[in-house]
Structure 1
Amino acid sequence: MSVINTPNGYTLDNSGKRVVVDPVTRIEGHMRCEVNLDANNVIVNAVSTGTMWRGLEVILRGRDPRDAWAFVERICGVCTGCHALTSCRAVENALGIEIPPNAHLIREMMAKTLQVHDHVVHFYHLHALDWVNPVNALKADPKATSGLQHIVSPKHAKSSPGYFKDIQTRIKKFIESGQLGPFKNGYWDNPAYKMSPEADLMAVAHYLEALDLQKEFVKLHTIFGGKNPHPNYLVGGVPCAINMDGDMAAGAPLNMERLNFVKARIDEMVQFNTNVYVPDVIAIASFYKGQLWGGGIGAKSVMDYGAYPKVNYDKSTDQLPGGVILNDNWNEVFPVDPADPEQVQEFVTHSWYKYPDESKGLHPWDGITEANYELGSKTKGTRTDIKELDESAKYSWIKAPRWRGHAVEVGPLSRYVLAYAQGSEYVIDQINRSVSDFNSLAKTNLNAKQVLQSTIGRTLGRALESKYVADMMVDDWHDLMKNIKNGDTSTANMEKWDPKTWPKEAKGYGTAAAPRGALGHWIKIKDGKIENYQCVVPTTWNGSPRDPAGNIGAFEASLMGTPVERANEPVEILRTIHSFDPCLACSTHVMSEDGEELINVKVR
């Protein structure tokens, strides 16, 4: 390959200088990224690779569908809970089970807690250091930092000069100790970092605040689900009883004391999102106003199944509506049907899997997960030490999902673009206010599309969603309390728990708004056991390799046209890839080098 024009509108050129980032760190799992730079250090070709094999579907065959949630939840320890929820929904959809209203509300609060926790941890602890230079914070004037804090977010309580002076002292001791931890190996002298010392100090202070708060947020999972990570779920509802007069010793997880504790944690999430997270993203973005690159497919071709239904699993009540937008046309939104075999399909032409006919995609109900690790003839290196991949052949352990043949981006940005285009008043107000604040700080005059269609816009979308779901949880909590006061304490529907009540064959699907985007599970049940199970996860959509038509996925598309300040310190690549919050653990799983069994565990 030299120069190729893709059907989805990108011109790829692999004749320039090849830069390899392997592994891409500060993500969940393992990923490799290769790009070609032209003479001006602009990315003209991108190759995204998942470097672990996915095999969970194989593990699930023949198992009890009621247990599937516990297996799939272990796909990832970061987006913990969303796979369990989606699995329960898939089984309930297959068997025609309706869960009680209380179970729905509790599931929603658990899912939204995950969103806030994941988004906060992603930004401050996985993504912020792509923009924030902690070493530069040592040059800051604490008094000026306090002044900046009052401009960015005057309601945040921790804003005195003394507070920032103490933070600066902590950073200095940390750096002087030589034990840099997460700050080690950063490109801290790279001119691609644009923030003032005061902005860096403010952001590092909030990095530390978020580190303390995130452990408080997930206590909701321990209240409702018994633990975190991997809280407990239940086909038919939730595994926690309500007894307002009971106590913990009597085996009543939900009483008034526990529910008040939940409300206090929700209030903390609301305050942090409102006073810290969203203002920080807008303030940081203002320093990078001239670098609104990295949009790729984002906001041009986007997809989501719909998110946060108010009534059980009724998609017509989704607070963030689903759909598909193609080719930047926000005036036309196509409906999504996960059960339609012509819509969601996975291709493996450039993936290390085997299909009977690799020119065709398979709907997840008919999905096949059969490993086929082979390298193209133009690959440089060996099977165990690849120097450069051959993207004209198979080059990733991630499949290539497509919606009616189209490569689309999924994620909080996609949900927000779809909601904005479909007239969601809350989202429109959020975006317009944020863009106005950005323009005020950056002294620019950009519109919503210009801001959203970028790496910065993708990061902003995630922050805005975090605030929205925290606000939604307040309503969920009050609705739960109203039901309980009206005498409804049911949390599970066990009418179809016994497999004897099931049909001989059934199939279903479940979808959810995972932190990283549209998540879908598809299940086929036969004779009470799982016949086939397939997960199509957000990073599979975003990190997909090319399909038979040559369309590139969202990771690859987002890198195209990005200028790189220093080829040997490609922080710009990290910024854009990290903006998706990749989860390679979700999209791939592990196998041995020669394909043999790694370990056999027997439980007696």
Structure 2
Amino acid sequence: MAQKITIDPITRIEGHLRIDVEIEGGKVNNAWASAQMWRGIEVILKGRDPKDAWMFTQRFCGVCTTVHAIASVRAVENALNMEIPLNAQFVRNLILCAHGIHDHIVHFYHLSALDWVDVLSALKADPRKTAELAQAISDWEGNSETYFKEVKDKLSAFVGSGQLGPFSSGYWGHPQMKLPPEVNLLAVAHYLSALDYQYKANQVVAIFGAKTPHIQTVVVGGVALAINPDNPATLNMERLMYARELLLQVKEFVQKVYLNDAIALSALYPDWFDIGKGITNYLAVPDLPLDTKGIKFDLPGGTIFHGDLSTYKAITSFDDPYFRDNVSESVIHSWYKNIGSKHPWEGDTVPEYTGFKENEKYSWAKAPRFKGEPMQVGPLAQILMGVASKHELTMKWLNYALEKCSALAKKPITVDKLHSTMGRHLARAVRCAMLADLALKHLDLLTQNITKGDLEIYPYRTGLRFPEGEIKGFGFHEAPRGTLSHWVVINKGKIKNYQAVVPSTWNVSPRDEKGKRGPYEESLINNPIVKPEQPLEVLRTIHSFDPCIACAVHIYDKSKKEITRVKVL
């Protein structure tokens, strides 16, 4: 007889997510993913100046802030058919690379590692053996016996205090926790080290974005970051060299520690390469533009259907009609008015809450589709685009990861195994290694362009003018969690309609008119469940997507009355 369990809320994510699963015979046979909050910023944006939209859209989230700023300005720039100065492209690219590195580090160590690592087991570890193990995997200078002993002592004192903080309420001792104590100690130590390195990556975001979260230097048409090599108040050579120093430190951690930890974890849990497959239609967009028009990129994008790499079709520019014409969103199972599938330019955001009804409406998330099909987005999608297009940097780091993982697991781990829970983790680590290389490349490109005497950041100093009639634009970015796109309709210089189709909306998607599940839901089918009262396996698969539902409920009163006032002390 089927047993139904509800996990609400899913923790160690950004936002509010509920997962319902039916279990029969020790496996999941049905699933529902429900986003438990309403995002109303699209409503707030109506009637506003399109040039201001990027500042509002960053408030979709307290984590994914830079990505919404970039996608928003790209949407308005697309509507106006603008070219962007090279310096502005490189500055934006540096912000995006640094933000992506920060995000991937945090996801692996601080959001998902506790699904695999038994923290209490680490107290039984021998620091000397842990150091030998770590040094066999990587030559990172931090892998010393002294450091692991210090971490074990700190952990022992922490546990002894009875206040476990982020380690409380874990499923310690769960039968699916299979790592030996020395590996658990290594992971806990690197968990702590990662706190420092994600911060260094965020420092780079702040250098080029003025602050983080919620950067300040992006504007429609370029960036508001003055460049003068000889002026201490602008972006100068000293700041560029400081950014380089930080990026070099972060690169070493990512490529020597994070990537190798992900490889080791994968090799020690090889059965999870056969779990969590789900939707094998993939979507990614090209990013890190190398020119002013957005037709040359350092990261590839496109689509792949049914897991068949031979179906790869590239997305080639910021104005590619293949992407523009094939995105739609359904709300038949979402808490919004209207039924049917609409293109984002025609979409609306009119809430209509009915309560959780699994055969009717059960989520605040819409159901995005590409050519009518559910698509998985995220680092795995982008890595597969790189494989299909024979992208050199993708192949370099993916081959490294698969070869090392195969050697450690003592069995072949091939590209086809990436369609899985563990494959998503390994792909994200590979992407992070790529971003570490690309961040330094784009810093060099920016520096070289400045030394040539090009200081242009914004060529529209007389002001931007919008036509009297209606224009439409879309902007996309391959964010840490996957394909993000913003869609704007502008009439007489004001926003008539605005829709954001975010990565976690693609993945958390409820069912559509055809009854097709979204990626979260489909990936849970046939997942094993050893202890229904501790559904660790559900968390493992859901966390592999790195959910980011949104960080706050946005309340809007059409009568413009004050709803509440918050005093900041």
Q: If the TM-score is normalised by the length of the shorter chain, which range does it land in?
A: over 0.9
Note the residue ranges of structure 2 that are not aligned, 5 or more in a row. Answer: none
Cα pair distance change 1:598/1:203, threshold 3 Å: farther
Picking from 94, 103, 125, the partner of 2:110 is 125
Q: Tell whether the 8 Å contact from 1:28 to 1:585 is kept in structure 2 after alignment.
A: yes
Q: Which residue of 2 aligns with 1:531?
A: 496
Q: Which residue of 1 aligns with 2:273?
A: 292
1:483-540 Cα deviation digits (max 9, x unpaired): 11111111112157333x5453211110001110000001111111111110000010
1:327-355 Cα deviation digits (max 9, x unpaired): 12211123554676751000001000112
Q: Tell whether the 8 Å contact from 1:496 to 1:502 is kept in structure 2 after alignment.
A: no
1:295, distance to aligned residue in structure 2 (A):
3.3
Picking from 309, 319, 322, the partner of 2:301 is 322
Q: Which residue of 2 aligns with 1:373?
A: 353
Distance (Å, rounded) in 2 between the aligned partners of 1:438 and 1:598: 56
Q: Does 1:276 align with 2:276?
A: no
Q: Does 1:558 align with 2:523?
A: yes
Distance (Å, rounded) in 2 between the aligned partners of 1:293 and 1:76: 33
Q: Which residue of 1 aligns with 2:82?
A: 97
Distance (Å, rounded) in 2 between the aligned partners of 1:159 and 1:224: 32
Picking from 442, 445, 453, the partner of 1:476 is 442
Q: Which residue of 1 aligns with 2:327?
A: 344
Q: Which residue of 1 aligns with 2:235?
A: 254
Distance (Å, rounded) in 2 between the aligned partners of 1:201 and 1:150: 14
Q: Tell whether the 8 Å contact from 2:38 to 2:364 is kept in structure 1 after alignment.
A: yes
Distance (Å, rounded) in 2 between the aligned partners of 1:446 and 1:565: 25
Q: Does 1:407 align with 2:390?
A: no
Picking from 311, 331, 336, the partner of 1:353 is 336
Q: Which residue of 2 aligns with 1:380?
A: none
Cα pair distance change 1:591/1:536, threshold 3 Å: same
Picking from 6, 18, 25, the partner of 1:32 is 18
Q: Does 1:237 align with 2:236?
A: no
Q: Does 1:570 align with 2:535?
A: yes
Task: Report the residue type matching 1:29 in the other structure.
Answer: G
1:223, distance to aligned residue in structure 2 (A):
1.5
Q: Tell whether the 8 Å contact from 1:42 to 1:562 is kept in structure 2 after alignment.
A: yes
Count of residues paired in the alignment: 560
Picking from 440, 464, 485, the partner of 1:498 is 464
Picking from 439, 442, 446, the partner of 2:413 is 446
Cα pair distance change 1:400/1:596, threshold 3 Å: farther
Q: Does 1:17 align with 2:35?
A: no
Q: Tell whether the 8 Å contact from 2:36 to 2:363 is kept in structure 1 after alignment.
A: yes
Cα pair distance change 1:109/1:202, threshold 3 Å: same
Note the residue ranges of structure 1 that are not aligned, 5 or more in a row. Answer: 1-14, 376-388
Q: Tell whether the 8 Å contact from 1:225 to 1:239 is kept in structure 2 after alignment.
A: no
1:262-299 Cα deviation digits (max 9, x unpaired): 1111111211111100000011111111232443335x
1:125 match: secondary structure: helix
Task: Report the residue type matching 1:246 in the other structure.
Answer: N
1:331 match: secondary structure: helix
2:270 match: secondary structure: coil
Q: Does 1:73 align with 2:58?
A: yes
1:152, distance to aligned residue in structure 2 (A):
1.1
Q: Tell whether the 8 Å contact from 2:44 to 2:556 is kept in structure 1 after alignment.
A: no
1:424-479 Cα deviation digits (max 9, x unpaired): 122123222211111111111232212x1111110111111111011011111111
Cα pair distance change 1:370/1:284, threshold 3 Å: same
1:528-581 Cα deviation digits (max 9, x unpaired): 111111000001000000000011000001111110121111111111111111
Picking from 177, 190, 208, the partner of 2:161 is 177
Q: Tell whether the 8 Å contact from 1:432 to 1:448 is kept in structure 2 after alignment.
A: no
**Taking every aligned residue pair, what percent have the same amino acid on both sides?**
43
1:330-384 Cα deviation digits (max 9, x unpaired): 11123554676751000001000112xx1x3111111110111114xxxxxxxxx
Q: Which TM-score applies when normalising by structure 2?
A: 0.95
Distance (Å, rounded) in 1 between the aligned partners of 2:473 and 2:272: 44
Cα pair distance change 1:401/1:77, threshold 3 Å: same
Distance (Å, rounded) in 2 between the aligned partners of 1:242 and 1:342: 38
Q: Tell whether the 8 Å contact from 1:110 to 1:224 is kept in structure 2 after alignment.
A: yes
1:408 match: secondary structure: coil
Q: Tell whether the 8 Å contact from 2:397 to 2:433 is kept in structure 1 after alignment.
A: no
1:18 match: secondary structure: strand
1:406, distance to aligned residue in structure 2 (A):
0.4
Distance (Å, rounded) in 1 between the aligned partners of 2:60 and 2:537: 29
Cα pair distance change 1:341/1:416, threshold 3 Å: closer
Distance (Å, rounded) in 1 between the aligned partners of 2:162 and 2:425: 31
Q: Tell whether the 8 Å contact from 1:339 to 1:509 is kept in structure 2 after alignment.
A: no
Q: Does 1:150 align with 2:135?
A: yes
1:327 match: secondary structure: coil
1:600, distance to aligned residue in structure 2 (A):
6.1
Q: Tell whether the 8 Å contact from 1:591 to 1:598 is kept in structure 2 after alignment.
A: no
Task: Report the residue type matching 1:511 in the other structure.
Answer: F
Picking from 456, 460, 466, the partner of 2:432 is 466
Q: Which residue of 2 aligns with 1:362?
A: 342
1:590, distance to aligned residue in structure 2 (A):
4.4
Q: Which residue of 2 aligns with 1:548?
A: 513
Distance (Å, rounded) in 2 between the aligned partners of 1:138 and 1:598: 52
Q: Does 1:423 align with 2:423?
A: no
1:319, distance to aligned residue in structure 2 (A):
2.6
Distance (Å, rounded) in 1 between the aligned partners of 2:125 and 2:267: 18
Distance (Å, rounded) in 2 between the aligned partners of 1:505 and 1:592: 26
1:253 match: secondary structure: coil
Task: Report the residue type matching 2:12 in the other structure.
Answer: R
1:61, distance to aligned residue in structure 2 (A):
0.2
Distance (Å, rounded) in 1 between the aligned partners of 2:123 and 2:195: 20
2:425 match: secondary structure: helix
2:373 match: secondary structure: coil
1:19 match: secondary structure: strand
Higher mean alpha-carbon deviation, 318-327 vs 201-210, is at 318-327
